[in-house]
């Protein structure tokens, strides 16, 4: 089931991800669900998309990846 807004996302997703990460999750989920027709596959794709831009810090909060300075 595709999500219309980030407010429609499952509570565990809304609870842990920052708003921008929720937008990434929603877009990736909807695209994958449309392509594969499987909610479990769409969930895996959506989390993978979030993890490309975000990571959990040592306190367990999702934060944007930062590039090390050269």
Q: Kindly list the domain boundaries of the chain, sorted by start residue.
A: 11-64
How far is the C-alpha of 39 from the C-alpha of 34, rounded, in Å?
10
Given this model, what pLDDT does residue 69 score? 56
**Nearest-10 crossing angle of helices 19-36, 39-53:** 140
Q: What does the pLDDT profile of the chain (70 residues) look like in tens digits?
A: 899 999 999 999 999 999 999 999 999 999 999 999 999 999 999 999 999 999 999 999 999 987 665 5
Q: Could you tell me where the beta strands, DSSP code E, fall in 1-70?
A: 54-56, 62-64
Classified by CATH at the fold level, domain 11-64 comes out as: Rna Polymerase Sigma Factor; Chain: A (1.10.1740)
| 2 vs 54: CA distance, rounded Å | 22
In this predicted structure, what is the pLDDT of residue 68? Answer: 62
């Amino acid at each position: 089931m595709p999500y219309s807004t980030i407010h429609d996302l499952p509570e565990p997703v809304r609870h842990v991800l920052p708003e921008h990460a929720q937008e990434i999750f929603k877009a990736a989920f909807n695209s994958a669900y449309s392509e594969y027709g499987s909610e479990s596959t769409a969930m895996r794709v959506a989390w993978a998309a979030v993890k490309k831009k975000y990571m959990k810090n040592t306190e367990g909060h999702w934060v944007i990846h930062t590039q090390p300075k050269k």
